[in-house]
Amino acid sequence: MKEATGEDISKEDLGGPTVALSSGVIHNYAETDESVLDAIRRYLSYFPSSAWSYPPTRLYDEDVGLRPTPELLDIVSRGNRNTYDMRAVLDVVFDDTDWLEVQPTFGQAIICALAHFITVADSFHLPVVFLADNPGMLPGSQSERNGVLRSGAGMFAAQTAATTLKLHVTLRKAFGFGSMVTCLCWVSTIRWRPSPTQAPPWGR
């Protein structure tokens, strides 16, 4: 590399797993062969046996009832400019916190919990849930040169074609094209803004 371009860089820094993860070349990383196989088994466990099958139905437990989630008031700040950990939101909202994140260091503005590709979820009849806090796409010449519309068009096309159940929850804000590509839902769209006196509108 140094002889060809003059850049003095190690093999690890040039194309190691850390670089490949952040660039999106690879999805997830494991240290050993056994860990890789375990990760593959875990990934496949979320899917039905084929695209002609449906995922198992999880029956409503009447003994549990609606589950209050007051913790969200502490996690989601009312200030739109204040950041918070969306993974903590997922841990509260999901009944089962053993969720799988795909490509955790690539495109970190979006957390892809298992169903990174909408078309995959649609093919296996898996519902898609969007928890959105989106200021919209950043306009400007740099965004245009980086192909922001081309990148967003792929998700828009997948959303339009998907016929599986979809649910969109706006946690604080969802504006512009960034909101539109997550709001193409057949089920419903819920908007929730943190309030000291009001619990979120979902229970389970």
pLDDT higher than threshold 70 for residue 33: yes
> What local confidence, expressed as pLDDT, does residue 87 receive?
84
pLDDT in tens, 53-103: 887 776 666 666 677 888 888 888 888 788 888 888 888 887 766 777 776
Phi, psi for residue 23 in degrees, rounded to 5 = -90, -10
Q: Set out the domains of the chain in order of their start, with CATH numbers.
A: 1-45 (no CATH), 53-191 (3.90.226.10)
Cα separation of 127 and 163, whole Å? 9
Exposed/middle/buried for residue 165 (C-beta within 10 Å: 0-12, 13-18, 19+):
middle
pLDDT in tens, 94-132: 776 677 777 666 666 566 655 447 878 888 888 888 888
pLDDT higher than threshold 60 for residue 186: no
pLDDT in tens, 120-171: 888 888 888 888 888 777 666 666 666 666 667 777 777 888 888 888 888 8
In degrees, to the nearest 5, what angle opens at C-alpha 98 toward C-alphas 111 and 71?
Answer: 75
Give the residue-averaged pLDDT of 17-28.
73
Exposed/middle/buried for residue 14 (C-beta within 10 Å: 0-12, 13-18, 19+):
exposed
pLDDT higher than threshold 60 for residue 50: yes
